[in-house]
Each structure stands twice: as C-alpha cells, then as structure tokens.
Amino acid sequence: MNFFTHHEFDHHEQVVFCHDQATGLKAIIAIHNTHRGPALGGCRMYPYASDEEALNDVLRLSKGMTYKSAIANLPLGGGKSVIIGDPRRDKTPELMRAMGTAVERLGGRYIVAEDSGTNVADMLLMGAITQHVSGIAEKCDAKGNCRSGDPSPMTARGTFVGIQAAVNHRLGRTDLEGIRVAIQGVGNVGHHLAKQLHDAGAKLFVSDINHTAVDQMVSELGATAVANEAIYDQEVDVFAPCALGAIINDQTIPRLRASIVAGAANNQLAEKRHGEALAKKGILYAPDYVINAGGVIDVCYERNSVAQDQIIKQVDAIGETLHEIFTRSEAQHKPTYELADQLAEERFAG
C-alpha cells in the first residue's frame, strides 16, 4: 500500500495501526491536524469489508473533524478512529479497554468519543484506561433536566436548526409545517432528528437497514417507511442523509427530487465535484461538517464544564453559520461546500 500517495491522504500528521492479540482488536487512529488543539473525534466500529475500506473511512472522517471543529470555532483539531468488527457480535469489554490503551499511548494528541457502533458505555470502559475520552459526563440544564454524555441529541439539534435555515433560505419558509423530509438512517441521531421534525409539523419519509428502527418511526411519528434504495427517489423538500457517507455521488444525484440536502451524516459528498453537481441541479447543500457539528460542540465543552444553556446557544448558532454560507455562496456564485471549506481552512491553517 502506498500510504503517502493514498487518494484520501491529506497531510495527516499521524496514522496509527493498533492491534491487540488477546482481545482481537484491529483498529486505526488517524490524526489529521492539531494546529488548533488536540484531535477530537469519535470511534467507529464497523465490519469493514477490507483494511483498505477501513483506512479510507478513517482518513476521510479525521479530515472532516478538522474542518468541523474549525468551522465551529472550537479549540480542537481533527481525528478519528475505527475498529474493524461487528459491534453486535465482536464487541467485548476487554476489546474496549484495549482500545483505551491504544488511545492512552498517544499521550493526549487524540481524544476519543462515541460514534457509529459505539456508545457511552464503551467510552466509560475506555475511560477506565485513559483520561483522553469525552462524551461520558452527565449533563444537566438550569431546570435540573439531565441526560447522559451521549452527544447525539446535540448533533440532531444542530441538524434541525440547519434544516430550518436551509428551508428559510431556499423555500422562504419560517416554519416546517408540512415540509416533506426524507431521512436516510434513523439511528441515534436520525431518531432524535425525526422527533424534532415531527414536532415542528414536518412530514417524514424514513429508511434504515434496521427495520425495527423504521417501524418505530412509523408507529411513534406516523412516518412513511421507504425501502433503502428508494429513499433517493422521494419527491420531498429536504433529503436528510443521517447514515454513512459518500451517498451523494454520480449514481444518486440524478435521482434526487429534493430542493435541499441537509443531514447529519459525515462526508456526504463522494467527491468535492459532487457539491458542484448539486449546485448545478439547483439543490441547496448544507455542508455536512457545518450542520452536524452539534455533537463535537457538546463533547468539547463537556471537558471544560461549560453550562448546558451555553452549549445549546452555540449549537443553535449553526443555523446562523449556514445562513452566512448560503448568502455568500449566492453572492460569489460558488457552491456552498467551497465557501465552508475556505472559512474552515482559514481557521486551522498553521
């Protein structure tokens, strides 16, 4: 493998391949950029088809975290980790503690948090080995309402206000009553997002590889269940990707019938040129690392004991950031992803 000429390598500072024979741990930690601070990013556990696929994912995700933290103006760099394995079959407490050891060996350059396939309980197991973990502290607001360290509710909240900003900009609407939203993926984040959209009066179309999760949305929220491959074809106002990345590509863009793409998934564009393709088709794209930054804001300020109401205030400001990007995009005749990249790069270059 030619690593330094790898198509997803982008001046990453450090990439560590981790193995523990006793537990079967096979993992990769990628640190993209630490100019603004230590690299924070989630640990994803997924049954990758190959080591190459896992490497592609961790390189893309870690770079995305650099941009996400910078655009949110956080004192953090970008990193990510992946564990190769099926979380439903291969996950054990010993495996999670072994991952904690791998994180600890980096001496604080990388801070781990939960991601797809991992949860707060896994982070607590890692936290028994390393202090360089976030997303584990209980969070309470001024009214005494408390929740776990799970950042997914804040990721969903930021995505929700981002959808509001996009609908306002493209459709001229100040509310979401009757707005049709196709949600691809109703896991932790997608589930929270769907509830918020439902409460705001949106009409939901949902898909997920987990049929139980879809059935729950149909039962609880009156959502319309859609086959996974048919979710791109729905005649909706908003297409909200909330699963894996690279789903905006040459095959799916011609099928989209939405006016807006705005969702919580990371790395939604298979390639940057697909952001240009969306713009040419007249689809407003909310850059993924801008709209889904609520979770990293949450886990960042957990480490600094910032009050819950202040965290919520910064998460809600995602809507204002997107409004600025949308406005500048139109004024400068540039796609939204390009404007977002420029703003982020100005902040983390060093």
Q: What average pLDDT does the segment 238-265 reach?
A: 96
Quote the pLDDT of residue 303. Answer: 77
pLDDT in tens, 168-189: 999 999 999 999 999 999 998 9
pLDDT higher for 188 or 161? 161
Catalytic residue from among 63, 80, 91, 139: 80
The C-alpha angle 330, 333, 336, rounded to 5 degrees, equals: 65
Residue 142: pLDDT over 60: no
- Give the residue among 335, 326, 342, 330 at the shortest CA–CA distance from 272: 335
Residue 210: pLDDT over 60: yes
Residue 140: pLDDT over 70: no
C-alpha–C-alpha distance, residues 304 and 210, integer Å: 36
pLDDT in tens, 271-313: 999 999 999 999 999 999 999 999 999 989 887 778 888 899 9
Asked whether the beta carbons of 310 and 301 are under 8 A apart, the reply is yes
The yes-or-no answer on residue 195 being catalytic is: no
User: Domains plus CATH for the chain?
Assistant: 14-64+76-136 (3.40.50.10860), 152-348 (3.40.50.720)
Confidence tier at 347 by pLDDT (50, 70, 90): confident
Confidence tier at 49 by pLDDT (50, 70, 90): very high
Quote the pLDDT of residue 1. Answer: 63
